[in-house]
A = this chain, B = another copy of it.
Amino acid sequence: MSLICVGSMAYDAIETPFGKREKIVGGSAVYVAYAASNFIKPVNLVSIIGNDFEESEIKALESKGISFEGVERIKDKKSFFWSGRYHLDMNTRDTLVTDLNVLADFNPVIPENFQDSDFLMLGNLHPATQISVIGQMINRPRLIAMDSMNYWISSALGDLKRVLTMVDVLMVNDAEARELTGEYSLVKAARKILELGPKFLIIKKGEHGALLFHGYDVFFAPALPLEDVFDPTGAGDTFAGGFMGHLARTQDISFENMKTAVIVGSAMASFCVEKFGPERLKEISKGEIDDRIRQFIDLVNFDIALV
């Protein structure tokens, strides 16, 4: 009973209107793992790091019940590095540097010890890599979720469509849903994506919340209105970690429980943006998470009163 999380680990340089960090740990797998570790242990990490990845960061992750058995360490190369600068509205950013480094050779291998994991989160990687991971699972996990991005829609659409037939949940943002389908209406885009394979679709809209689609059902979770969004880096991955962590903890993959999972993911994402990188996620407590989920209940709860 555990969660495998496959994705990048990185160092990032981030500049927002509130300040900057020259070197802070990042990568999709780091955010997913930190968020999920509040709900399920172990979180089985599958990733790749270089010789610059600090021991203290590994210890910080391990102290949360995140297993490094599936993390490959390359001695003569550096970790994946990304650098970006956010605009004032925080919804747009410029990528300044992308140094793939070790990530260029990433061929994830699932350790035997991870084979009993029943939840699998595939971070944003080449869809052929995602297919390779699914193929390595001797027993298909109960739930497979994947992230993707516009780059794969334009450069690897065939592989992307193939992996979509193999997963249960796709998480993309609104622009990606539109690009993948050619539909501006998110409702129409969702219909088309669900026909491609996934039984569930989550469309992330950043500060405007997230939509969960399943058949003809739809559920909406708002983003928490915050005084300041300090740094949005990793918020989508943190959402995914909270979502998958809640499902793995409850062992309930019904649409009803996925609604709650979307709220849990939104709550975790609302923490992520409060500080730089995963700083806030490292220090979060169970009590804080419960309080935040209560805030979401207050945010959307109203008396049922028909006219």
Interface locus among A42-50, A54-62, A107-115, A185-193:
A185-193
Q: Known: A208-B205, A289-B307. Contact between A184 and B256, CB under 8 A?
A: no
Which candidate, A65-73, A131-139, A147-155, A298-306, is the interface stretch facing chain B?
A298-306
B residues less than 8 Å from A306 (CB atoms): 290, 293-294
Task: Provide the residues of chain B in CB contact with A88, threshold 8 Å.
Answer: 184
Contact of A227 with B188 at beta-carbon distance under 8 Å, contacts A304-B297, A306-B293 already known: yes
Q: In the complex, which of the residues B39, B186, B225, B298 contacts A307, with contact meaning CB atoms closer than 8 Å? A: B39
In the complex, the chain B residue whose C-beta lies closest to that of A38 is B307
Indicate if the CB atoms of A209 and B187 lie closer than 8 Å: no
- Per the CB 8 Å criterion, the residue count for chain A at the interface is 50
Task: Give bound CA distance, A257 to B135, whole Å.
Answer: 53
| One of B226, B250, B264, B302 near A260 (C-beta < 8 A) | B302
Q: Is A228's beta carbon under 8 Å from chain B?
A: yes
From the candidates B225, B256, B286, B307, name the one contacting A293 in the complex (CB within 8 A). Answer: B307
The stretch among A76-84, A158-166, A214-222 that forms the contact with chain B is: A214-222
Verify A303–B188 contact, CB threshold 8 A. no
CB closest residue in chain B, given A305: B260
B225 to A222, Cβ gap below 8 A?
no
* Bound form: Cα–Cα A38–B306 in Å: 12
Q: Would you call A263 an interface residue if the criterion is a C-beta within 8 Å of the partner chain's C-beta atoms?
A: yes
Q: Is A94 an interface position by the 8 A CB rule?
A: no
- With contact pairs A208-B205, A211-B225, A225-B218 given, residues A303 and B257 touching in the complex (Cβ less than 8 Å): yes
Q: Most chain-B Cβ atoms within 10 A of its Cβ — which of A187, A260, A302?
A: A302
In the complex, the chain B residue whose C-beta lies closest to that of A222 is B220
- Chain A, 86-118, contact with B by CB distance < 8 Å: what is the 0/1 string? 001100000000000000000000000000000
For A304, give the chain B residue with the smallest CB separation: B297
Contacts A205-B208, A257-B303, A307-B39: A89 and B220 contacting too (C-beta < 8 A)?
no
Q: Which of A188, A257, A262, A305 has the most CB of B within 10 A?
A: A305
Which of the residues B185, B259, B301 comes within 8 Å of A228, measured between beta carbons?
B185
- B302–A219 touching, CB < 8 Å: yes
Q: Decide: B220 and A303 in contact? CB cutoff 8 A.
A: no
Question: A298 vs B301: C-alpha distance in the bound complex, in angstroms?
Answer: 12
Chain B residues whose C-beta falls within 8 Å of the C-beta of A259 in the assembled complex: 301-303
Given A88-B184, A303-B259, A307-B264, A220 and B211 contact (CB-CB distance below 8 Å): no
Further pairs besides A218-B225, A219-B298, A294-B306: 7, Cβ < 8 Å: A208-B209, A218-B299, A221-B302, A256-B302, A257-B303, A259-B301, A259-B302
A-B contact pairs, 23 of them (CB 8 A): A38-B307, A39-B307, A89-B184, A187-B225, A187-B226, A188-B228, A209-B209, A211-B225, A217-B298, A218-B225, A220-B222, A221-B300, A221-B302, A246-B307, A256-B303, A257-B305, A259-B301, A260-B302, A260-B305, A263-B302, A289-B307, A290-B306, A297-B304
